[in-house]
Amino acid sequence: MREMRLSISNKSGLIPKLISYLYPSECPSCGAATDNIVYAPLCISCWSGIKKYSGPACNICSTPFSSEYSDICAECLKTPPVFSRALSFGLYADTLATAINIYKFHGIKRLYKPLGKFLLEFDIAGADAIIPVPLSVNSLRARGFNQSLLLAKFVSDNSKIPLMLDGLIKSLETPPQIGLSAKERISNLKGVFRAVRDFSGMRLLLVDDVMTTGATVKECSRQLLKAGAEDVVVLTLARASST
Q: Which residues pair with 131 in a beta bridge?
A: 206
- Cα–Cα distance for residue pair 69/169, rounded to 1 Å: 39
Neighbours of 226 (CB within 10 A): 12
121 contact partners, CB below 8 Å, separation of at least 6:
52, 89
- For residue 208, the 8-state DSSP code is E
Strands 168-170 and 85-91, bridge-based pairing: unpaired
Residues 149 and 38 in one domain: no
The predicted pLDDT at position 66 comes to: 77
Residues 21 and 139 in one domain: no
- Cα–Cα distance for residue pair 101/147, rounded to 1 Å: 10
Residues 115 and 20 in one domain: no
The predicted pLDDT at position 9 comes to: 43
Q: Which of 30, 48, 66 is the last residue of a domain?
A: 48
Residues 120 and 192 in one domain: yes
- Cα–Cα distance for residue pair 52/207, rounded to 1 Å: 17
Residues 170 and 206 in one domain: yes
Looking at residue 164, which CATH number applies to its domain?
3.40.50
Range of the domain at 7: 1-48
What is the amino acid identity at position 46?
Answer: C
Residues 30 and 105 in one domain: no
Q: Which of 12, 31, 48 is the last residue of a domain?
A: 48
- For residue 135, the 8-state DSSP code is P
pTM: 0.86
The predicted pLDDT at position 128 comes to: 98
Half-sphere exposure of 151 (CA within 13 A, CB side): 30
Going residue by residue through the chain (243 aa), what tens digit of pLDDT does each one get? 344 343 334 445 666 555 555 555 899 999 998 888 899 999 999 999 999 999 999 999 999 987 787 899 999 999 999 999 999 999 999 999 999 999 999 989 999 999 999 999 999 999 999 999 999 888 899 999 999 999 999 999 999 999 999 899 998 766 555 555 556 555 556 778 999 999 999 999 999 999 999 999 999 999 999 999 999 999 999 999 765
Looking at the structure of the chain, the number of domains it has is 2
The predicted pLDDT at position 69 comes to: 79
